[in-house]
Amino acid sequence: MPLDLVPTLSDLIAIPSVNPMGRDVEGPEYLEYRVTDYLEKLFQNHGFRYKRYVVSPKRDNILIRVDGDLTPPEKGGPLVLLEAHQDTVPVEGMTIDPWTPTVRDGRIYGRGSCDIKGGMTAMLGAMARLREEQPRNRPTVVLACVVNEEFGFTGATDLTKLWAAGAKPDDLVPKRPDVCVVAEPTSLDVVVAHKGTMRWRIHTHGRASHSSQPHLGDNAVYKMARVLLALEQYAKEVCPTLGSHPLVGKATLSVGLIRGGISVNTVPDRSTIEICRRVLPGEKAADARQKVIDWLSAREELQPILGAVEHEPAFISGFSLSDEKNGALAARLGEVSQRITGRGKRIGVPYGTDASRIAAADVPSVVFGPGSIDQAHTCDEWLPLDELPQAAEVLYEFCRSWS
């Protein structure tokens, strides 16, 4: 049975699957389980072989598999992995109704249309066609619809456990996939590299007192001010010397949040900042954090306060994607996209994706999908409708043969 792309995408947009983004929020729009249930029914109707994998409560990865006619992966034959995330970012501040898919001027509007229910629909369309048309000399293909990409990458991380050393062979993914295509809005180009993210909190500690007697206290905000000036210098002078990548540029550092004090008449005993270091392909996130800590520790002017500076462990450590091992995959997918859509350039992007997790589990991975990242996460998110069947066609053509 073929899959109607626009009705399927409309269904997916109409089912909220908002990622709580680490906030303590509740409501029917949060988490992915409704989308997972919808996908499960769709897979049953189409007769796909599928399986759900619990990642955390109400958050399941769901996978389908279409067997090829080449050697099965159980016997060492090729295995192609497609991957798309089920979650969307929140909807606060949107200027359109996020869950009423609306087709207008060649676009479909709604939360997730671009990031990445459109890309998921294109992958579903390709899978349905593979199953229907059974082209010859095709590899086995698995599509993984995973949870929690937007905040923590736990769905993709769990997925990679299926082929981790010592894992019991899974019936859908019995071996490490040979290649992986991750859906994100790339405007039908092929993303081969992106930066990673290392985020952590720094605290300074002091002693509270009444503001009328500041000499009895020890002001944590003054200490943080000195840390901040040092970090500004690090961002400006050190980061540019840490190397650069031809597709994604240089390493960066930014302080994005500051807190300190409880009221104007109290000397603050604590101040906190959150710091974001964008990591280059090939750079280890933990090393990048340690370099900042070591550099601060060596600053002459910070010596008097170093004992009051505390670095929390990272609260986000997103891997980068390197173009070192995905060249052949990118060339083949790019060639197919070029032939069908006129796009297919090999590019680098500033944002992180699940591809970095899957690549870290030793699978050459690239990112590809319909729609532009410029429309992802926006207040009137939309997808250009002509790119939806184009992406499905590219993915089908990519998966139908193996070389």
Count of residues that bind Zn ion according to CB under 5 A? 3
Span of 113-121, 217-225, 255-263, 386-394 interacting with Zn ion by CB under 5 A? 113-121
Shortest distance (Å) from residue 116 CB to Zn ion: 4
Shortest distance (Å) from residue 126 CB to Zn ion: 18
CA–CA distance, 269 with 224 (Å, rounded to integer): 11
* Among the listed residues 381, 403, 401, 400, the one whose alpha carbon sits nearest the alpha carbon of residue 119: 381
CA–CA distance, 42 with 64 (Å, rounded to integer): 11
Give the start-end residues of each E strand in 20-152: 49-56, 59-66, 79-85, 102-104, 107-109, 140-146
Tokens of 185: 């809005």
Residues numbered 176 to 205 that lie near Zn ion (CB under 5 A) are 184
Options 40, 67, 115, 269; binder of Zn ion; rule CB under 5 A: 115
By C-beta, is 115 or 387 nearer to Zn ion? 115
Shortest distance (Å) from residue 376 CB to Zn ion: 6
CA–CA distance, 25 with 58 (Å, rounded to integer): 14
Residues numbered 290 to 319 that lie near Zn ion (CB under 5 A) are none
By C-beta, is 116 or 181 nearer to Zn ion? 116
Q: Which residues contact 345 (CB under 8 A, 6 or more apart)?
A: 189, 190, 334
Shortest distance (Å) from residue 119 CB to Zn ion: 8
Options 35, 39, 84, 116; binder of Zn ion; rule CB under 5 A: 116
By C-beta, is 334 or 369 nearer to Zn ion? 369
- 381 counts as binding Zn ion under rule CB under 5 A: no
Shortest distance (Å) from residue 12 CB to Zn ion: 13
Classify the C-alpha dihedral 48-54-57-61 as positive or negative: negative
Residues numbered 65 to 104 that lie near Zn ion (CB under 5 A) are none
Question: What does the chain come to in residues?
Answer: 403
By C-beta, is 186 or 337 nearer to Zn ion? 186
Shortest distance (Å) from residue 84 CB to Zn ion: 8
Residue 148 CB burial class (10 angstroms; 0-12, 13-18, ≥19)? buried
User: Given the rule CB under 5 A, which residues bind Zn ion?
Assistant: 115-116, 184
